[in-house]
Structure 1
Amino acid sequence: MTAAFLCIVTLVSQAEVVSQPEKLNVADLIQQLDADTLLERDAAEKALIALGPDVLSKLPTPDDRIPAEVGQRLARIRQVLEKQVATSITVSKTVTLTGVFELQKVLSAIEKQTGNRFALPRGGDTEVTVELVDTPFWQATDVILDQAGLDIVALGGQPNRLVLTARPPGARIRFGQAQYKGVFRIEPIRVFSSRDLRNPQSDVMRVTLEISWEPRLSPISMLHDMQSIEAQDQNGTVIETAMGGRRDLGIQPGMSAVEIELPLNLPEDHAKTISTLKGKLDILVPGLTEKFEFSGDLETARGVELKRAGATVILDQVRKSGEVFQVRMRLRFDESSNAFESHRTWVFANPAYLIGPDGEKIPNAGYESTGQSKNEVGVSYLFAVDGGLKGHKFIYETPATMIRQTIDYEVKDIELP
């Protein structure tokens, strides 16, 4: 076994690994990946996987000091746990709560159970009766808001938070008006028909959909395949789409909803409703956020690379420029899935900061883009630090994977004007 890797080895018996994983020390299990027997090594690998995605941040980064077999096992563990994270991120959180409570207490309970946050309007607290058992987030939220007479500020609210507001007089209830697709809620909210008396070929009907997602998420992109649209009226007559191609819905960081207009040909005069409207969304969601830490002599660092899952962060150079230090780095993805397209700004919202010798966090004073390609983006961060950077660490946080999800939706019984 490699001495550089095995400093103090505490072996965990197979019985402990299998029967009491909650009592195990992650560091001990990592050491046991290099144990003498195959049985012990296999047991340690299984136990680390059983501990779940929280282990990911504690796994060492493979390097030349780690034995080849240990590196292979760590890679397998990461792969399994990252798939679990990807699955959990795009699965709706559920709510269990029964009784009569003040609205604020109900929302607090939902926040605790789902990680989705709310902002309650002043004077909006009231009592609500809830009977929720493993109820998906959006269904639970709609039921509660209907009781409280509240609605959601869909656009222009607070980042990663649902801002609640009083429901206008005459507004319909929310529950049952949308299709619930996992973490997404898709609701038709407007229909507009236009007849051109000079040119009938310009006649058009536009159906606006509001697509919301659980605010704990921050989708990077959402594309609608316009050719996937299928619509029929109440008699089964097909209503053709008036546009092809793909539409980018223009998601910005912090949003929790977006609208899209679907252009359709004007239906026949006898059409009273769109009985069914189908379409397809291609969505890119960031996976687990990883922390990349660069320490040592930052001022002499050149091209230092750290890799986590599918992301690599390269610290190219740190140099003094006038009164500030420039930290030049690059973020590269094995598969970016177009996450770095020029109009996407999410990467510039990633936290980048220094930690001083006293443990104080030093935020950056600004940044500039230094380059961009399909799989890579470069950024130069500015830091105002007196003296040198001896004893400082540079920390960069970013999602380490991108999760692509295709949503086939179907909304029904849309009343026509």
Structure 2
Amino acid sequence: MPRLSIRLALAATTCLFAADAGAGDLEEEVLIQLEELGSPRLADRQAAEGALVELVGDAPGDAERVLELLPAANDSIPPEVQAALQRVRLRIERGLAQRATAASRVTIQVAQAPLAEVLAEFSRQTGAKFRDNREAFGGDAVKRPVTLTLKDEPFWSAVDKLLDEAKLAIYPYGDEGEIALVDREASAGRRSGAGAYAGPFRFEAVSLSATRGLRDEGASRLDIAIEAAWEPRLRPIALSQPMSALTVTGSKGQTLVPRTPEQSIDLEASPGEQATTLTLSLALPDRQVERIEKIAGQMTAMIPAATHEFRVEQIGAAKLPIVQTFGDATVTVSRFRKVNAIWELHMRLRLAEAGDSLASHRGWVFQNKSYLVDAAGERIEHAGFETTMQTEGEIGVAYLFDLAGGDLLDFEVNEAADAGKPADAGEPADAGEKENAIDPKDLTWVYETPTGVFTLPVSWELGPIDLP
């Protein structure tokens, strides 16, 4: 296909961004490089792929913008160009995931500044949200002036110094993407120096207990509870710490061994959580070991890619199944039908490189937003859901919607030969019901999901820690 034809085909899919005042030169440059993807010369095509990735630069906002400007697959774009777009999208998303593992940085110099202003500046520089919850928890909400000087300080080191200065602690169950602050207990020690930092993660040993089995020596153990916290922006799906990737050294160079070296500690992160606790169970060391000099671990973090919004217009009149793909994610809507008083929407999410994200750690899928939008633009949230199928790379979910009598159209779509053919309409509603009924053909289904999941290594180290 000539490059001019490709430019026209791609422009048709990206023209909606031209009206966006924020698009500007970036939108035009993306379109130029998209045209080059159709060049007959291999060198030009490869250069265009590289140029699209380089447009991302260092600003996360630009990366997300470029991803938005890349057109979705359609019949007017040649297969080889679609394959190139997929490679570009994957490289950008991997770059975003890699960038997510670098700590945010804080630079600030204030003297006797109001706490609220300092928190606002932290938010501006890092994107993290902070909430002063002292009063809500019965604490003293009196103004606390802050004096603090930080220069290019990593996120958690900066937060620790701020909280020490303001005599505050973190409430671990704040809203999603938010760090809630409360008064610090009088018995609590300083945060600075108590933890170790690994990119956007903070690790701290919070308790240690030794148990000696008097009847069964095999019950003897040394348990170390370690809190792993992360920057709110990270939103990890799961953390995994294989005991085989753990090294514990005693005060005289002894190696302390895990009780179950074949075990892996796998923890899912729930929305709103900013931290989780790993309990490392070791064989009880000899009494000659007075302290742990060092604990070093190699953890893996499962990080979601950028979120994409899938939309199906006029879902009640659509010919199903409908398949949409963006990035590594493919969403299939197979059925939208009324069962008794409830409408069921059956969909499937498939990831090209799912890893364990849909097998062992699929809880994140159930946090994806799924809702209907009526003709007036009002959202209709689902009333519940159930899992309909699951494989290593795909999961099916049936979302339930109460449309308050919306039975003017009643389609039941078959996934086989009759796909897309409307079934017989249900019993017509009486006049009173029609006044308040929602017409399903006017509804739009919206589904928001990460377009991929990446597993990234996190190396951490703590110590020394005195034994009891």
Q: Same fold (TM over 0.5)?
A: yes
Report the Cα distance in structure 1 between the residues aligned to 2:75 and 2:223, rounded to whole angstroms.
60
* Counterpart check, 1:356 vs 2:374: yes
Q: 1:198 to 1:26 in 2, by over 3 A?
A: same
Q: Name 2:98's counterpart in structure 1.
A: 87
Does residue 378 (structure 1) correspond to residue 396 (structure 2)? The answer is yes
C-alpha spacing 1:270/1:43, structure 2 compared with 1 (3 Å): closer
> 1:306 deviation in Å?
1.0
Alignment of 1:12-411 (within 5 A): 23-24=24-25, 26=27, 29-30=30-31, 33-34=34-35, 48-52=52-56, 53=63, 54-68=65-79, 70-100=81-111, 101-120=113-132, 121-122=134-135, 123=141, 125-154=143-172, 156-244=173-261, 245-296=263-314, 298-341=316-359, 344-385=362-403, 386-411=437-462
Tell whether the 8 Å contact from 2:315 to 2:336 is kept in structure 1 after alignment: no
Tell me what 1:17 maps to: none
Match of 2:430 in 1: none
Q: Deviations over 1:58-116 (max 9, x none)?
A: 22112211134543442343133212211222221111221122112111221222222
C-alpha distance in 2, partners of 1:137/1:83? 22
| AA aligned opposite 1:410 | E
Amino acid at match of 2:157: Q
Deviations 1:140-189 (A, max 9, x none): 000000111111123x4433322222211232111111110011111111
Give the structure-1-normalised TM-score. Answer: 0.88
2: CA distance, partners of 1:128 / 1:298: 57
Partners of 1:9 and 1:161 lie apart in 2 by: 39
Deviation of residue 3 (structure 1)? 5.3
Query: Does the aligned pair in 2 maintain the 1:301–1:317 contact within 8 Å?
Result: no
Secondary structure at 1:66's aligned position in 2?
Answer: coil
Query: What letter corresponds to residue 384 of structure 1 in structure 2?
Result: D
Specify whether residues 124 and 366 from structure 1 end up closer, same or farther in structure 2 by C-alpha distance, changes over 3 A only.
farther
Distance 1:392 1:254 in 2: 31
Counterpart position of 2:434: none
CA contact (8 A) 2:198 2:458 kept: yes
Q: Work out the CA distance in 2 between the residues paired with 1:363 and 1:231.
A: 49
Larger mean Cα displacement after TM superposition, 64-73 or 241-250:
64-73
Which residues of structure 1 form unaligned runs of 5+?
Answer: 11-20
Contact 1:33/1:40, CA 8 A, preserved across alignment: no
Equivalent position amino acid for 2:332 in 1 = I
Is the CA contact 1:93–1:137 (under 8 Å) kept in the aligned structure 2?
yes
Amino acid at match of 1:169: A
Q: Are 1:119 and 1:164, in contact at CA under 8 Å, matched by a contact in 2?
A: yes
Distance of aligned partners of 1:25 and 1:203 in 2 relative to their CA distance in 1, 3 Å threshold = closer
State the AA in 1 paired with 2:305. G
What amino acid is aligned across from residue 35 of structure 2 in structure 1?
D
Q: Distance in 1 between matches of 2:28 and 2:331?
A: 25
Match of residue 415 from structure 2? none
2:427 aligned with 1:413: no
Displacement of 1:362 in angstroms is 2.6
Give the TM-score normalised by the residue count of structure 2. Answer: 0.79
Letter in 2 for 1:305: V
State the Cα distance separating 1:5 from its structure 2 match. Answer: 6.3
Larger displacement relative to structure 2 (66-75 or 249-258): 66-75
Contact 2:314 2:440 in 1 (8 A): no
Structure 1 residues 293 and 31: CA distance shift in structure 2, 3 A: farther
**What letter matches 2:53 in structure 1?**
I
Q: Which amino acid aligns with 1:395?
A: V
Indicate conservation of the 8 Å contact 1:33/1:73, yes or no: no
**Do the aligned partners of residues 167 and 29 (structure 1) sit closer, same or farther apart at CA in structure 2, a change above 3 Å counting?**
closer
Q: Distance in 2 between matches of 1:279 and 1:309?
A: 32
Contact 1:5 1:65 in 2 (8 A): no
Q: 1:347 to 1:235 in 2, by over 3 A?
A: same
Specify the SS of the correspondent of 2:161.
Answer: helix
SS of corresponding position for 2:371: strand
Give the superposed CA RMSD.
2.8
Read off the aligned partner of 2:103 and give its amino acid letter: S
Amino acid at match of 2:391: S
Q: What fraction of aligned residue pairs are identical, expressed as a percent? A: 32
Amino acid aligned to 2:289: A
**Number of equivalences:** 406
Distance 1:42 1:58 in 2: 19
Task: Measure, in 2, the Cα distance between the counterparts of 1:180 and 1:124.
Answer: 31
Partner residue of 1:6 out of 5, 8, 16: 8
Instruction: Please list the CA deviations of residues 181-221 of structure 1 after superposition, one character each: whole Å capped at 9, or x if unmatched.
Output: 01111111111112233333432211111111112222212
Residue type matched to 1:64 in 2? D
Distance 2:33 2:252 in 1: 67
Letter in 1 for 2:459: D
Cα shift at 1:51: 3.6
Q: For residue 58 of structure 1, what is the amino acid of its counterpart?
A: L
Q: Which residue number corresponds to residue 427 of structure 2? A: none
**Matches of 1:264 and 1:70 in 2, distance apart?**
54
Q: Which deviates more, 266-275 or 286-295? A: 266-275
